[in-house]
Amino acid sequence: MEKIITGGTLVTESEIFEADLFIRDEKIAAIGKNFPGSETAEIIDAAGKLVLPGGVDPHVHLNLPMPGTVSSDDHYTGTKAAAFGGTTTVIDFANHDLLSLVDSFHAWQENALPNVAVDYGIHQNFTRFNQKTLSEIAQLPELGVTSVKMFTAYNGRMRLQDGEIFQVMREAKDLGVLSLIHAENGDLIELLVAEALKAGHTEPVWHARTRPAWGAVESVLRVCALAYSAGKAPVYIVHMNVAEEADQLYYMRERGLPVFGETCPQYLLFTEKDLERPDGAKWICSPPMRSEKDNQGLWNALADGTIEVVSTDHCPFLCDGTKPLIYEGAPYQQPGKELGKDDFSKIPNGLPGVGDRMPVLWTKGVVEGRISPTQFVQVMCSNPAKIFGMYPQKGSLIPGADADVVLWDPRKKVRYGAGISQHRTDYNLYEGLELTGFPEKVFLRGKLIVDGTKWLGKRGGGRFIKRWLPPPVSSGCSTISGEMSVYPG
């Protein structure tokens, strides 16, 4: 059925204007007024509301196994939470659990596809290096996967050595595949964790104190040097958390390296001091929160376009897994952060966030004057869609794009917390925060899936987005190429 969203103010990556949106066959058919042949269309009144593209969160972890447990949001509960926060597309990570890179993708896809409630893509983790897995990168674009993720931390588990990262980057560049890097200094972390535990330091704050900020900065520069040496291979630094990491982006771009960067709300709004609280385990994630100086430096980098994307690194665990949580009328229970009550190194690393990202950053970013509404759409919607080969199908309000649309009430006041967010976990980092502006209705490909507090979506209602290979682009908000608007079908 055709729909017309009328009377609203459209907010795109570049402009704000009043217009109606005409939706037909899951797509945005036209933007304007008085659409011909629309007499039978359903009319949706958006007077007083903003009309935004559905959010794109390019960094989530759903149903992720961890030592002794699994993340509490699976592919259904996590994508449902995303929808309530205005996000209609996520990109998950397929673990490299099997020897074969391609078999690992298929195993992950088999679990995800029947359960997702919004549209999604997959990054392929690359943690088992050999000549066979290296050669398999060439098969990923045919599967719709155009990015691989590597780690400079987690020694003996997921980390690749520098020479291996270099070879993957070189191969990926030749194939048009983007290399993602988790940049921390694994050697420093292993040494400092062992020393801290030996000295009897077991509290959550020691998670941050054993993962030094300058180890992250050094790792960003090191992997950028590897990318440069691999023929200026494009590289994307995930979850940037230190102000000086943004300096490295600027430094390398000045020398011609196509390098992209993302940060997350937790690195903009919290610090190491939060880990000193009695419930500090709630704030345990990797990399950790840093300082107020880093908060401000990252906001500055977001505002000037040095950092192009805000993701979440969503990977929640129950705070107290000894007690069941009621979710959709049924009990849910998994071991949680209590696993590390006597040893910070055993606390599951990860936070809820996929449903918080857009509402919290609207208030803390737009309402408080740190970024503009169009910048909000850039970092939440269009930039990740462009970088990861989904634009303008996703992240845009353009005729021909998927009708992923959020009606946003900019005046709505919400006292936020676990009772509002839809994550399957027993806490929220933003408990009690007063928000101004909140999603009212959320459409996925033209279908209403969130209507206020009502859930109208369904398990399996999402689709896998086969991402295409984008042409080479410069990085930085102002220079992400519009040529990426060309897409199949």
What's the pLDDT tens digit per position in 275-317?
999 999 999 999 999 999 999 999 999 999 999 999 999 999 9
Residue 472 has pLDDT above 90, yes or no: no
DSSP annotation string for 116-154: -SSEEEEEEE--S-SHHHHHHGGGTGGGT--EEEEES-S
Say if CB 172 and CB 253 are below 8 A apart. Answer: no
Mean pLDDT of the chain: 95
SS3 content of the chain, % helix, strand, coil (to 5): 35, 25, 45
Residue 443 has pLDDT above 70, yes or no: yes
User: Is residue 79 very low, low, confident or very high in pLDDT (cuts 50, 70, 90)?
Assistant: very high
d(CA 107, CA 105): 5
Domains and CATH numbers, the chain: 54-387 (3.20.20.140)
User: Is residue 470 very low, low, confident or very high in pLDDT (cuts 50, 70, 90)?
Assistant: low
Give the pLDDT mean for 223-227. 98
The token pair at 461 is: 């209602």
Q: Quick check: pTM over 0.85?
A: yes
Consecutive H or E run containing 21: strand 20-24
Say if CB 82 and CB 74 are below 8 A apart. Answer: no
